[in-house]
């Protein structure tokens, strides 16, 4: 008997072999063969978004509309080379540069001088005085350092600027005299200011250097006389009397050392009928009433002619 017997076979080896249960696969996840309809759908989905069935074509922005509201950016390289326009060029010019251009244009084309003069506005008293004060400042700043501003050396240093100032006075003054200037008040205001400029001119050590200042006094005195005679014709000289100009003229004559006697004589002649040469306390009551009526503009209003009125002008 064989001692090595075959061990018995376990019972479960004699059972039939069972397969593991098969899991059920959903139909949707199963692969299937592609059909021709699938290729048609792929073509439709690959088309532009405007033809997509999921997006409305009206909700998409229009390419033409977006281009119409788009502004072009400035590109300096795209500007065509051209000269600057006259209006833009004039905007960059200073007052001195503009005057130089106009003067050069007038010198090259003399026929334009009259037209330029007609187009230019009339100079006013403030603008003219500013020009004269600029000349006066240049003259004052040209004095050399030293303790004797009236010396011959100082005169020689400042002479060109003094000549410019006096030439400007001679050129501007006739513009503010009658008949060029119809308003007496404007003429008097200008003369008062320029006379003060002459007062401020220095007195030189040499008498011959003082001749230009003396000549300026003589010219301005004649200008005062012309304006006073014209003003005396208007309202009986009321502007001269009540505006205080008679006193100013006398003060100017005193400050000039009696070099404006012509203006004082014209003032006395123009106001003589009003008793201006008589002290105010001795003026008759009748003349004083006439003055007051002329100043108020009621002179001549009587019972027979109530509508007649006279005034300063």
Q: How many whole angstroms separate alpha carbon 135 and alpha carbon 141?
A: 10
- Average pLDDT of every residue of the chain: 77
Q: Give the angle subtended at the CA of 259 by the CAs of 233 and 150, to the nearest 5°.
A: 140
pLDDT of residue 130 exceeding 80:
yes
Q: How many whole angstroms separate alpha carbon 161 and alpha carbon 139?
A: 5
pLDDT of residue 136 exceeding 90:
yes
What radius of gyration do the chain's Cα atoms show? 53
* 179 cis-preceded (ω within 30 degrees of 0): yes
pLDDT of residue 65 exceeding 90:
no
Q: What is the pLDDT of residue 270?
A: 79
Q: How many whole angstroms separate alpha carbon 198 and alpha carbon 183?
A: 23
Q: What is the pLDDT of residue 198?
A: 97
Here the tokens at position 98 are 């503009």
Give the residue ranges of DSSP H helices in the chain: 36-45, 63-68, 86-91, 95-108, 113-119, 125-141, 152-172, 184-199, 211-232, 238-242, 245-255, 261-270, 285-296
Q: What is the pLDDT of residue 309?
A: 34
Backbone angles phi, psi at 244, to 5 degrees: 80, 10
Can you tell me the mean pLDDT for 50-69? 54
Q: How many whole angstroms separate alpha carbon 221 and alpha carbon 266?
A: 10
pLDDT of residue 92 exceeding 60:
yes
Q: What is the pLDDT of residue 155?
A: 95
Question: Which of 27-31, 118-122, 170-174, 248-252 has the least mean pLDDT?
Answer: 27-31
Other C-beta atoms closer than 10 Å to the C-beta of 126 total 10
Q: How many whole angstroms separate alpha carbon 190 and alpha carbon 170?
A: 13
- DSSP run (H or E) holding 104: helix 95-108
Residue 299 per-residue DSSP state: B
Here the tokens at position 275 are 């008793």
pTM of the model: 0.62
Here the tokens at position 273 are 């009928």
pLDDT of residue 293 exceeding 60:
no
Where residue 244 falls among pLDDT bands split at 50, 70, 90? confident
pLDDT of residue 115 exceeding 70:
yes
Q: What is the pLDDT of residue 177?
A: 96
Question: Which of 73-82, 96-105, 198-207 has the least mean pLDDT?
Answer: 73-82
pLDDT of residue 32 exceeding 80:
no
Buried b (16+ CB within 10 A) or exposed e, 243-274: bebbebbeebbeebeebbebbbebbebbbeeb
Can you tell me the mean pLDDT for 3-15? 58
Distances (CA, A) of 75 to 16, 67, 80: 91, 18, 11
Question: Which of 17-21, 237-241, 308-312 has the least mean pLDDT?
Answer: 308-312
pLDDT of residue 150 exceeding 70:
yes
- The residues facing 299 across adjacent strands are 310
Here the tokens at position 173 are 């003054």
Of residues 157 and 57, the one with the higher pLDDT is: 157
Can you tell me the mean pLDDT for 96-118? 91
- The residues facing 310 across adjacent strands are 299
Q: What is the pLDDT of residue 79?
A: 62
Here the tokens at position 200 are 């401020």
Can you tell me the mean pLDDT for 243-260? 93
Question: Which of 107-111, 146-150, 271-275 has the least mean pLDDT?
Answer: 271-275
Q: Is 310 helix (H, G, I), strand (E, B) or coil?
A: strand
pLDDT of residue 202 exceeding 80:
yes
Q: What is the pLDDT of residue 189?
A: 95
Distances (CA, A) of 192 to 118, 131, 261: 28, 16, 15
């Amino acid at each position: 008997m064989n001692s090595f017997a075959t061990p018995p076979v376990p019972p479960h080896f004699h059972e039939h072999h069972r397969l593991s249960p098969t899991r059920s696969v959903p139909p949707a996840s199963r692969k299937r063969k592609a059909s021709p309809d699938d290729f048609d759908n792929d073509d439709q989905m690959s088309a532009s978004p405007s033809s997509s069935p999921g997006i409305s074509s009206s909700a998409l922005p229009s390419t033409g509309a977006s281009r119409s509201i788009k502004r072009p950016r400035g590109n300096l390289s795209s500007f065509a080379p051209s000269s600057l326009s006259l209006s833009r060029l004039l905007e960059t010019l200073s007052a001195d540069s503009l005057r130089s251009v106009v003067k050069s244009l007038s010198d090259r084309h003399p026929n334009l001088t009259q037209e330029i003069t007609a187009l230019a506005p009339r100079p006013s008293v403030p603008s003219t005085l500013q020009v004269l004060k600029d000349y006066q400042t240049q003259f004052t700043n040209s004095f050399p350092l030293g303790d004797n501003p009236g010396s011959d050396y100082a005169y020689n240093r400042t002479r060109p600027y003094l000549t410019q100032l006096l030439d400007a006075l001679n050129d501007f003054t006739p513009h503010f005299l009658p008949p060029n200037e119809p308003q007496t008040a404007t003429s008097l205001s200008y003369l008062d200011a320029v006379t003060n400029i002459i007062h401020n001119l220095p007195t030189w050590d040499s008498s011959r250097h003082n001749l230009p200042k003396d000549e300026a006094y003589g010219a301005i005195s004649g200008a005062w006389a012309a304006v006073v005679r014209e003003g005396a014709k208007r309202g009986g000289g009321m502007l001269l009397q009540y505006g205080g100009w008679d006193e100013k003229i006398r003060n100017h004559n005193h400050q000039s050392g009696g070099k404006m006697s012509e203006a004082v004589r014209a003032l006395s002649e123009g106001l003589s009928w009003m008793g201006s040469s008589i002290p105010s306390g001795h003026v008759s009551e009748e003349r004083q009433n006439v003055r007051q009526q002329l100043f108020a503009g009621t002179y001549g209003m009587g019972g027979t002619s109530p509508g007649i009125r006279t005034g300063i002008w």
